[in-house]
Amino acid sequence: MKTTLFLMITLLSAFTINAQLTEDFNGASFPPTGWTTFVGTNGLGDDGYHNWTRYGNDVAMCRPNDAIPTGQTSEDWLVSPQFTVDVTKPMLSFAISDFSESVTNSVYTIRISTNSQTTHADFTIEQTYLESDLVAFDFTPHFVDLSSYIGQNIYVAFVLEQNAGDYMLIDNVDMATNSSASINDDFFNTSIKIYPTIVNDFFTVKNNDNITLTNVSIIDITGRIILNKNLNSIDAKINTTTLTSGQYFVKISADNTATVKIIIKK
C-alpha cells in the first residue's frame, strides 16, 4: 500500500476527471450495461443496488438485509465492466455517502480483479472505508490510486459489509487524469500557486490571473476530505494547525474548473 500511495503522489500534481470508466447511474435500468451485482460467499446480502433519486440525481443505493443472523456479516457487491487502466488516468474517482451515522459497524471496500467479474476470490482489497470516514448524505469525492494496474484489464468492485441493516450510496464513478485536461484547466492549473508546500501552520493559495476562487478542500491520501472552505476571493490563506503530519492533496476550485496541488504537513 505504501508503494501505491507513493505512486499516487508522483503521478499527480494536478488532475481532472476523464471518462475512461464513467457511470452516473442515471439510466432507466439497473445495473447499468456491463455492471453486475451479487452477494458474498456466505449467501447473505440483499443484492440490493438499484437506482434511487435524491436531490435530483440518480445514485446506486445498497439496501440492507435486515434478517442477517446474529454474529454474521452480509456482503453486497457492485462490480464495474472490464476496462484498461491508462497511464494518463490512473485514479479511480467516486462519490460515496452513508445513509445513517447511527450505525457504526459497516465496512465499505474497493476491490480489484484482473481475472473475473464475479469470482470473489479474484478480487484484492485496495481501499477500506469505515462509517467514521463518511458523512450521511454528503457525496464526498474519494480517490483510489490504480497506477499499479496501468496497462491491465480490470474490474472494480464496490462492496458493502454490514450486519445492522445499513444502506450505502455511490455515484459518479470516473477515472482521473493528470495530463488530458482541457486548455482552460491547464490555464487554471498554471495560474494557481501554493506556498509554502511544506507547511507548519498556514499556506497561501496565490492566483496569478485574478480568477475568483470558489472553494479549497484538503484531501488525505485515503480520499477523505479533511478540510473544506468556501471562497469568493482571488487568494486565500489556509490554516492547517488541525492537520496531522503527512502528505495531502489540496483541491482548488473556480466555477467549473479545478486543480489539485500537494502539500506536506510538518
pLDDT in tens, 155-203: 999 998 887 666 788 888 988 764 333 334 555 667 888 999 899 999 9
Per DSSP bridges, beta strands 198-199 and 257-265 are parallel
- Collapsed DSSP state (helix, strand, coil) of residue 122: helix
In this prediction, residue 44 carries a pLDDT of 81
pLDDT, tens digit (0-9, with 9 covering 90-100), for 117-130: 999 999 999 999 88
Residue 137 has pLDDT above 90, yes or no: no
Look over the chain and give the mean of its residue pLDDT values, rounded to a whole number: 78
Fill in the amino acid letter for 65. Answer: N
pLDDT 10s digits, 227-254: 989 999 999 999 999 999 988 888 888 8
- Predicted confidence at residue 52, as pLDDT, reads 53
Cross-strand pairs, 85: 150
Cα separation of 138 and 160, whole Å? 17
61 within 8 A of 167, measured Cβ to Cβ: yes
The distance between the two most distant Cα atoms of the chain, rounded to a whole number of Å, is 60
User: Please, what are the domains in the chain?
Assistant: 2-177 (2.60.120.200), 183-265 (2.60.40.3080)
Q: Strand 257-265 and strand 153-162: pairing?
A: unpaired
Report the relative pairing of strands 57-62 and 140-145 from DSSP bridges: unpaired
- Adjacent-strand bridge partners of 80: none
Rounded Cα distance between 68 and 165, Å, is: 8
